[in-house]
Amino acid sequence: MTLGVVILTGGKSSRMGADKAALDWDGRRAVDRLADLARDLAVEVTVAAGPVDYGLSHIAEDPPGGGPVAGLVAGVSALRARGCTRALVLAVDAPTIAAADLAPLLAAPAPGAAYEDLHLPLVMAIDALPGDAGAGWSMRRLVEHAGLARPACPPDAAQRLRGANTPEERETLLRRFVTPDSAQDDGIP
């Protein structure tokens, strides 16, 4: 199955106070960190779903501002058109995700998986996308209707997977997972 990546970039960033996709994370924008992760996973097709292209292949959600499921539907549609049969969907507010964090999701059998108590990231067979999914749907509803497995979230990955919606959460992630001396500062080996 051919895997493509959708990076959801369409949120208003109201709690963060700035465009989360464009925020600097130790010299790189959040969206670029996730695109680099996709390249590290050997994914050839990466699509930013939201109002701005950020220099990546891009598709706007329909309707604009329609929420994460509208962005996911638009992104998955773009992946399908490019020959992908499976999608890894990432939220731009979680740019510290590591490839190892995604391994259980990527290894899940069809139709795919999303961690218990988290709706993103998720991996799904594109043909598992409910035909009526779109604006107004919650991510929980999409995960349930697509029949995705819900494995337990690895405890050491939970903070990275949840990401940052506020400046305080961003500072915590920067300190723990991004800055070169963060391991020493937080007692992380």
95-117 pLDDT, tens digit per residue, is: 999 999 999 999 999 999 999 99
Q: Which domain does 98 fall in, by range?
A: 3-186
Q: What is the CATH number of the domain that holds 142?
A: 3.90.550.10
β-sheet with 45-49: strand ranges across? 57-59, 45-49, 3-8, 86-91, 122-125, 112-114
User: What residues are paired with 4 via a beta bridge?
Assistant: 45, 87
- Domain count for the chain: 1
* C-alpha span between 23 and 25 (Å, rounded): 6
Give pTM, 2 decimals.
0.92
pLDDT of residue 1: 66
**Among all chains, which residue has been given the structure tokens 């070169």?**
180
The answer to whether residues 98 and 157 touch, using CB atoms and an 8 Å cutoff, is yes
Residue 44 pLDDT > 90: no
Residues in CB range of 63: below 8 A, 6 or more apart: 70, 135
Residues in CB range of 171: below 8 A, 6 or more apart: none
CA dihedral 133, 151, 112, 173 (to 10 degrees): 70
